[in-house]
Structure 1
Amino acid sequence: MTHSPSHTHSATEQHHSSADPRRWAALALICVAQFMLILDVTVVNVALPDMAADLDLSRATLTWAVTAYTLCFGGLMLLGGRLADALGARRTLLAGLAVFTVASLITGLAGNAATLLGGRIAQGMGAALLSPAALSIVTTTFHGTERNKALGVWAAIGGSGAAAGVLIGGALTDGPGWQWVFYINVPIGLAVLVALPALVPASAPQPVRLDIPGALLVTAGTGSLIYGLVVAGDAGWGAPATLLPLAVAVLLYTGFAAVERASRTPLMDLRMFTRRPVLAGAFLMLVATALLIAYFFLGSVYLQHARGFSPLKTGLLFLPAAVATGLGAHIASRLVGRIGSRAVAVAGMAISALGSVPLTQLSVEGSVYTGLLPGFVVASVGLGTVFVTATTTALGMVEHHEAGLASGVVNTFHEVGGSIGVAVVSTIAAAGIEAGSVGGFTDAFTVCAIAAAASAAAALALLPRGKPQMSGGPHVH
């Protein structure tokens, strides 16, 4: 899910690590840790209505329960990658895992909105440390064909985590309670913390300058943007309470751009956006993630609020859509090399738009198995193809030495896209979420359909011609 430029080891260290018999066991543990991070993006969606009822959460707070995690995960991810270089990947991974585990316990114990959101923010900070460090260990521990196999396992974690999240979230919420979607991370996190040091050798820290101002500015800017989008659902789009945080977001993003241009070691090299493949990949990743997480958010609240479904039944209904995302990704991985990124991306977004059409016709009486479910599945297949196309375009159409930078950009947009998508649809569907009426949900799905169709047209203009040449470097999902 996340990527950072991997730091280099000496040839001696590389030879030693590639021959280390512990490396596959280490990969298994690292993938377990990464699986928890991805799980926490989707596992919460199914638990939202129960959380809202127990803690008396407003629509805005419910939205932040999802976005606070992905906001901090995405906004601080590049800084986490630099910290892995500066402090050593193993040390950074263990620190991130410890923070994530403790934060999961706090979130599960939350008795009010403030504690819940504080726990979600801390979970995101832990994830931002853990994930880039974990990928750095994978890319420096394995070499040649073994590296491609290891990265294939890593990539598979993305799709399986999303699929498992909706099912596990439903089962735990319906069983012991919503708190267990967070509690489940605690024993797993502790077990990995104990076992990992024996399997992963420590790496020497490197002298790296940390762009902390840049990380704070981009995270604060995105937070202000999401705050303005969420407030608009209650105050209206033209209200000062909406316009002020949106204006602050613009100022913070401008400040971020100035800091990055002036820095000798910028957190994000903004010149990467002059590379058409990177710009296209970032755009596709932003839109696809925004749409997918928005579908899960809207669908969960609609099914449980408006239709009275249980969390487990909701999770089971989402499972085909989650699997369809993986199917779309598999199809795209075979097609991109044959017909090129542009055709696959345009087709994927168009399919997503078509799948969204039945969702604009939802009612309180019609069958979800003939309307909502087929729409979700079709849209998810389309979005799955876009995820792969976004990554292969950004990484396969730039120089090899730029792949790490491009990967960091695309993966930041992956997490931030989820935050923005949920904020937008929560505001559009505000009336439906608070009152359980269908009108707000159909309006939100209509916007999703329009966004997917517009993105198909944009992809046609934005994506370069040609076929990406993947070099076996890091890739997403």
Structure 2
Amino acid sequence: MPDAPNGGTQRPHVVVWTLLLTGFATFMASLDNLVVTTALPIIREDLGGDLAALEWIVNGYTLPFACLLLFASALGDRYGRRLVFGAGIALFTLASAGAALAGSTDALIAARAVQGAAAAALIPLSLTLISAVVPPERRGAAFGVWGAVNGLAVAAGPLVGGAVTEHLSWHWIFWLNIPIGLLVLPLVFRRLPESRGPVKRLDVAGTVLASAGLLGIVLSIVRGHEHGWTTGPVLAGFALGAVLLYAFVRWELRTPEPLLPMGFFRSRTFTAINITSLLMYAGMFGSIFLLTQFLQLIMGYSPMEAGVRMLPWTAMPMIVAPIAGAFTDRVGGRPIVASGLVLMAVGMGWFALYADPGVSYGGMVPAFVLCGIGMAMFFAPSGAIAMGAVPEGRQGVASGVNNSAREVGGALGVAVLASVFAARGGYGSAQAFTDGLVPALWLAVGLLLVAAAVIALLPERRAPKAPRPAAARPAGPTDPTTDPRPADRVPA
């Protein structure tokens, strides 16, 4: 099948196949980001391990995911997004089998790390594959569908993990990925058009500097609670990561074909949506990590029962994300994202106010609903905002940066909220758990409100309306009022 033109329009069945196959792969990768959360108490009993080990089961996936996103996006732009996307599915399927067969905590963490490396090719490239077949004026709706799938997967992780753990075993959380991967992989190469970015050669030096710098930062984040935030190794990781990222920026400003054009950050929209994504994921992931354990350890629900009781959160992305995506094409993404973050903050605040060893589930339902609606309102437009702020053909890099911000935020949220939890409470008793949970949730509220302020203070700059037919206008120079590029998009 010939290459699809970047930003061009494909036949409807190509768009449908692209949305379907990228949706399956995205669901599989996003689901495994949090699918283990409701299974953590069972895994702890089966394989052993303390709080630090439980964090590593979650962050073992997040760490390589965050560090390799830019590299995977660059590989897709250079060698073909469909090719790299398919390779990611194959590796993810194999790593899932390794996780299912794990007989120790170390083996499970190692398999999760390979899963995370493979997922780094799936999430960002799914957005660029969609961008290659959907015209700019329809991408909000398309990303709304993608957001619904992604949001559903993230929120459904605790439900699926709980159901499978209770009725089968935690190993089946990973076995379920095998048939999905085997079904989707051949269809990817048969049904998806290939597309590439303008990159003619891979920026090897930039790739190494970016990956190593992110590794130092994220590794110190996830080790901060375990070893102490002011210990030598943690501070050294932060310092080394910062130096490498500074060297990366200097290199990107000099090289003729940079991995990440620094001009992207002249766009206030691009900068703001990445800061917002980091803060939102920090608040969301850290809260889910603790709340799923609260439902089981304090409220006494089984893994399956805990997952079912999160359905008011889980179901919202399916309903709200497509609607929010459609409205993004009409009113712009900024007000939708900001409103969603405020709703999530209200929901988290509700949890913090009502968290108590004797709390009833009914008192928590409104908070679940608010968090679900808010999360869906964030997922749907955020991809469209990030992709619309860069030139056509560079969406792969933009997607990689945005997803790196999300994953760094997720790792930061789990580490920092777990650190607050451990400092103020613990697993010793129901009251001790609640004493640690409440301040951690208030921190999540603060992160979400800051994220809402960042995006709300950004001036709205929507793409102008499409130009009239050429016959209705005399020929002449480009009219800036009809230029279809968004006003805040950086030049190619």
Deviation at 1:326, TM superposition (A): 5.1
Which letter maps to 1:217?
A: L
Query: Paired residue for 1:450, among 432, 446, 469?
Result: 446
Aligned length: 461
Q: Which residue of 2 aligns with 1:409?
A: 401
Q: How does 1:217-232 map to 2 (within 5 A)?
A: 217-232=209-224
Please list every run of 5 or more consecutive structure 2 residues that lacks an aligned counterpart in the other structure.
466-483, 487-492
Which letter maps to 2:185?
A: L
**Bigger Cα displacement from structure 2, 432-441 vs 116-125:** 432-441
Deviation at 1:447, TM superposition (A): 0.8
Deviation at 1:396, TM superposition (A): 4.3
Query: Paired residue for 1:97, among 89, 96, 99?
Result: 89
Deviation at 1:181, TM superposition (A): 1.0
Deviation at 1:267, TM superposition (A): 2.0
Q: Give CA-to-partner distance per residue, 1:2-55, whole Å, 9 cap, x none.
A: xxxxx96479xx89x749x77745653443222211211222222222222211
Task: Describe the shift of the 1:456–1:62 C-alpha distance in structure 2 as closer, same or farther (beyond 3 A).
Answer: same
Task: Describe the shift of the 1:138–1:360 C-alpha distance in structure 2 as closer, same or farther (beyond 3 A).
Answer: closer
Matched, 1:369 2:362: yes
Distance 1:272 1:291 in 2: 26
Task: Describe the shift of the 1:159–1:387 C-alpha distance in structure 2 as closer, same or farther (beyond 3 A).
Answer: closer
Task: Describe the shift of the 1:217–1:367 C-alpha distance in structure 2 as closer, same or farther (beyond 3 A).
Answer: farther
Matched, 1:77 2:69: yes
Q: Is the 8 A contact 2:66 2:404 kept in 1?
A: yes
Q: Give CA-to-partner distance per residue, 1:291-314, whole Å, 9 cap, x none.
A: 222222111122222333211111
Q: Which residue of 1 aligns with 2:370?
A: 378
Q: Give CA-to-partner distance per residue, 1:337-367, whole Å, 9 cap, x none.
A: 6766554444333333222222223121121
Deviation at 1:249, TM superposition (A): 2.6
Q: Is the 8 A contact 1:292 1:380 kept in 2?
A: no
Q: Which residue of 2 aligns with 1:439?
A: 435
Task: Describe the shift of the 1:55–1:449 C-alpha distance in structure 2 as closer, same or farther (beyond 3 A).
Answer: same
Distance 1:468 1:62 in 2: 45
Query: Paired residue for 2:315, among 318, 323, 329?
Result: 323
Distance 2:303 2:464 in 1: 43
TM-score scaled by structure 2? 0.81
Deviation at 1:428, TM superposition (A): 1.5
**Bigger Cα displacement from structure 2, 88-97 vs 282-291:** 88-97
Distance 2:88 2:308 in 1: 31
Q: Which residue of 1 aligns with 2:237?
A: 245
Q: Is the 8 A contact 1:79 1:211 kept in 2?
A: no
Task: Describe the shift of the 1:329–1:290 C-alpha distance in structure 2 as closer, same or farther (beyond 3 A).
Answer: farther
SS state of the match for residue 429, structure 1? Answer: helix
Matched, 1:49 2:2: no
Which letter maps to 1:365?
A: G
**Bigger Cα displacement from structure 2, 334-343 vs 233-242:** 334-343
Deviation at 1:405, TM superposition (A): 4.5
Q: Is the 8 A contact 2:324 2:381 kept in 1?
A: yes
Q: How does 1:178-217 map to 2 (within 5 A)?
A: 178-200=170-192, 208-217=200-209
Q: How does 1:393-408 map to 2 (within 5 A)?
A: 393-396=385-388, 405-408=397-400
Distance 1:208 1:399 in 2: 16
Distance 2:305 2:295 in 1: 9
SS state of the match for residue 177, structure 1? Answer: coil
Distance 2:259 2:23 in 1: 26
Q: Give CA-to-partner distance per residue, 1:45-100, whole Å, 9 cap, x none.
A: 22222222211122222112222323322332232222223333343233211111
Q: Is the 8 A contact 1:166 1:319 kept in 2?
A: no
Alignment root-mean-square deviation, CA: 3.5
Distance 1:115 1:216 in 2: 26
SS state of the match for residue 44, structure 1? Answer: coil
Q: Is the 8 A contact 2:279 2:450 kept in 1?
A: no
Distance 1:216 1:98 in 2: 24
Q: Which residue of 2 aligns with 1:66?
A: 58
Q: Give CA-to-partner distance per residue, 1:233-283, whole Å, 9 cap, x none.
A: 344433334433222332232232233223322222222122111111111
Distance 1:400 1:197 in 2: 24
Q: Is the 8 A contact 2:348 2:371 kept in 1?
A: yes
Matched, 1:428 2:413: no
Distance 1:133 1:230 in 2: 26
SS state of the match for residue 369, structure 1? Answer: helix
Task: Describe the shift of the 1:318–1:211 C-alpha distance in structure 2 as closer, same or farther (beyond 3 A).
Answer: farther
Query: Paired residue for 1:464, among 453, 459, 463?
Result: 459
Distance 2:322 2:194 in 1: 35
SS state of the match for residue 356, structure 2? Answer: coil
Q: Which residue of 2 aligns with 1:4?
A: none
Distance 1:207 1:145 in 2: 25
Task: Describe the shift of the 1:325–1:206 C-alpha distance in structure 2 as closer, same or farther (beyond 3 A).
Answer: closer
Q: Is the 8 A contact 1:393 1:468 kept in 2?
A: no
Q: Is the 8 A contact 2:89 2:181 kept in 1?
A: yes
SS state of the match for residue 110, structure 1? Answer: coil
Q: Is the 8 A contact 1:95 1:130 kept in 2?
A: no
Q: How does 1:130-279 map to 2 (within 5 A)?
A: 130-140=122-132, 153-200=145-192, 208-279=200-271
Which letter maps to 2:300?
A: G
Which letter maps to 2:453?
A: A
Task: Describe the shift of the 1:302–1:235 C-alpha distance in structure 2 as closer, same or farther (beyond 3 A).
Answer: same
Q: Is the 8 A contact 1:280 1:394 kept in 2?
A: no
Which letter maps to 2:445?
A: A
Which letter maps to 2:421?
A: A
Distance 1:446 1:135 in 2: 33
TM-score scaled by structure 1? 0.83
Compare the two structures and name the one with the higher helix fraction. 1
Matched, 1:349 2:344: no
Which letter maps to 1:455?
A: A
Query: Paired residue for 2:103, among 95, 104, 111?
Result: 111
Identity over aligned residues, as a percent? 32
Query: Paired residue for 2:118, among 126, 130, 147?
Result: 126
Query: Paired residue for 1:296, among 285, 288, 302?
Result: 288
Distance 1:335 1:206 in 2: 31
Distance 1:167 1:366 in 2: 21
Q: Is the 8 A contact 1:18 1:142 kept in 2?
A: no
Distance 2:69 2:407 in 1: 9
Distance 1:267 1:24 in 2: 30
Deviation at 1:133, TM superposition (A): 4.5
Please list every run of 5 or more consecutive structure 1 residues that lacks an aligned counterpart in the other structure.
1-6
